[in-house]
Structure 1
Amino acid sequence: MQNRSLLILFMINLVGLLTDMPMSIDFYYFQSVRFATVDYCTWWTFTLFSFAVIGEFLMAVISIQRHFFIFQAHVFQNRRKRYIFYYLPLILSIIYPILFYIYSIFLVTCDGSQWDFTLPVCGFANCYFLYDAALTLFDYVFNNTVPLAVIFIANVVLIIRVVKQKRHRQQRFVWKKHRRMTIQLVCISSLYLIAWSPVIIDTLILNISPSPSLIQFHMNYVSEFPNLACYGLPWVYAGLLSEFKKWMLKRISPARIAAHTVQPV
């Protein structure tokens, strides 16, 4: 089950990367937004924001669920609890950001003259950023800061719990399994913390003391940091998650694996 949630995170990042990368490459190649229309900028920000926040929420949910997998695996053996504590959080992590940005980006409208076609992602000049301070604050706190805080706290607490359990239990196999699962989660979560922390900090500084040079720096450099999670996630999976690779290969080519399995005579 833990591999299934990691696969969902991987697929969301892959789709988000394939959606955003062509538009970003096109912008940096022509040094401007070639399709300079309101609809294009609206769609670009919607896909970028939605997939980024979905990834954050999924990572936060996976960080919490890993506690159950390590310390209370019996919870997921019950069908009702499995749907409540495993499937439902994953589904909500995908549906909520989409619904939020449908409302914020498509339904909160203005005349469209605010877009800057000389900046990446049209200057991130969505109408709710400019005219709805309460919605912008909610987006910053609940959709970006809270998931990041959950990821950080869940990983720190997990490390502490695993170390304490090692001291009380001297079962080598159990400790080895828990250590491997903890290292996997910490590495994946650290990728999100590294990718999103500069954005959260820089946005906070911009809200306290905005300046043209800082805004330009944010647009050209800091806003690209979240993409590090998308770019780095496949490499982390390939390097650390040997069980995930076996699980993926088994489902991609079960017949091929079965053909190479030695059968007793």
Structure 2
Amino acid sequence: FWATIERHILIFTRSIYQIRWKFIVFHYLPLSIATLYTPIFYGYVIFIYNCTNNWDYYELLCTSPCFYQNKILGSIDWLMNIIIPAFSIVLVNLILIIRVTCRSVSVRITIQRKKKNRKMTVQLLVVSSLFLIFWLPIAITGLIQQYFSPTFLIDIQFNIFFYLIYLIQLFLPFVCLISLPELKKEIRVKLHKWRRRNLIIDGASLQMATIG
């Protein structure tokens, strides 16, 4: 999530990173907080918070952890740790696209810069779409279960929606390939060399077999 926000800083106010204390505050401090927050929070709710888990071993996910029975802890985990970061990434990326587009219109920029902005816009749109498509079903059902009906679409959520979010990591490398043509060119060159080497080896093996 912070990487999305930091992208704004790198594009529009990069000069603040030239000042050491600002670099520490806006780069290292958020990363340190994010790194420490996760083990502290889940270490407390899993190992210290007093509750008993009732696992159902016939279910794919064995039901949810017992701390979700506490409305406050469940809301903090679901909203602060899952929903808000996921949809903030979408919102911040869309804001960045708008800012870059407005800047491109108002300020004269080179053709090369326009191409870079176009690549970044495509990449951000695809990333935002991935998060929106795969997180929206589980977000809506989770909020309804947390505050209104605990069993709302629970079978579909456990069997389908919980696995959709893992597709984001599977598709992200292809997003990078779309937005980085130089990477595609490098991969194409390496594949061509690999195929050529295999053809040479196969040809040599065939020649030796014929001689033998």
Q: Same fold (TM over 0.5)?
A: yes
TM-score, with length taken from structure 2: 0.75
Q: Deviation digits for residues 65-87 of structure 1, max 9, x if unmatched? A: 11112212212233322222122
- Is contact 2:8–2:96 with CA below 8 Å preserved after alignment? yes
Report % sequence identity.
34
**Structure 1: 5+ residue stretches without partners:** 1-59, 250-265
1:170 is paired with a residue whose SS is coil
Q: How far apart, CA to CA, are the structure 2 residues paired with 1:177 and 1:102? A: 43
What is the CA–CA distance in structure 1 between the aligned matches of 2:17 and 2:117, rounded to whole Å?
17
SS at match of 1:122: coil
Partner of 2:46: 105
The CA deviation at 1:213 is 6.6
Name the CA distance, whole Å, in 1 between partners of 2:125 and 2:32.
Answer: 23
Structure-2 change in CA distance of 1:71 and 1:183 (3 Å): farther
RMSD: 2.4
1:122 and 2:62 aligned? yes
Tell me, yes or no, if the aligned pair for 2:120 and 2:179 is still in contact at 8 Å: no
Matched, 1:235 2:174: yes
How many Å separate the matches in 2 of 1:175 and 1:227?
Answer: 33
Amino acid at match of 2:123: Q
Equivalent residue runs for 1:8-47 within 5 Å: none
Structure 2 matches for 1:128-139, cutoff 5 A? 128-130=67-69, 132-139=70-77
| In 2, Cα distance between equivalents of 1:213 and 1:228 | 23
Q: Quick one: distance in 1 between partners of 2:138 and 2:80?
A: 14
CA distance in 2, matches of 1:189, 1:93: 21
> Take 1:199 and 1:156, find their aligned partners in 2: how far apart are those partners?
21
Q: Distance in 2 between matches of 1:63 and 1:84?
A: 16
Q: Give the aligned residue type for 1:234.
A: P
Relative to structure 1, the CA distance from residue 176 to residue 150 in structure 2 (aligned partners, 3 Å threshold; closer, same or farther) is same
How far 1:180 moved relative to its partner? 2.6
1:141 corresponding residue in structure 2 = 79
- The one-letter code sitting in structure 1 at the alignment partner of 2:155 is Q
Residues 147-196 of structure 1: per-residue CA shift (max 9 Å, x gap): 13321221221121111111111212333333333332332333223222
Partner of 2:154: 215
Gaps of 5+ in 2: 188-212
Mapped partners of 1:145, 1:211: distance in 2: 18
8 Å contact kept, 1:104–1:128: yes
Inter-CA distance 206–111: structure 2 relative to 1 (3 Å threshold): closer
1:116-265 alignment to 2 at 5 Å? 116-124=56-64, 126-130=65-69, 132-172=70-110, 173-210=112-149, 212=151, 214-242=153-181, 245=183
Q: What amino acid does structure 2 have at the position aligned with 1:204? A: L
Question: Are the structure 2 counterparts of residues 95 and 233 from structure 1 closer, same or farther at C-alpha, using a change threshold of 3 Å?
Answer: farther
Which has the higher relative contact order, 1 or 2, with Cα contacts under 8 A spaced 6 or more apart? Answer: 1
Whole-angstrom distance in 2 between the partners of 1:86 and 1:96: 16
Q: What's the counterpart of residue 95 of structure 1?
A: 36
1:72: which partner in 2?
Answer: 13
TM-fit CA distance, 1:128:
0.5
Give 2:22's aligned residue: 81
Q: CA deviation at 1:211?
A: 6.4
Whether the aligned pair in 1 keeps the contact of 2:145 and 2:151 (CA below 8 Å) is no
CA radius of gyration, larger in: 2
Change (3 A) 1:186 1:74: farther
Amino acid at match of 1:87: Y
Aligned residues: 184
Contact 1:162–1:179, Cα closer than 8 Å, also in 2: no
Query: Take 1:208 and 1:133, find their aligned partners in 2: how far apart are those partners?
Result: 9
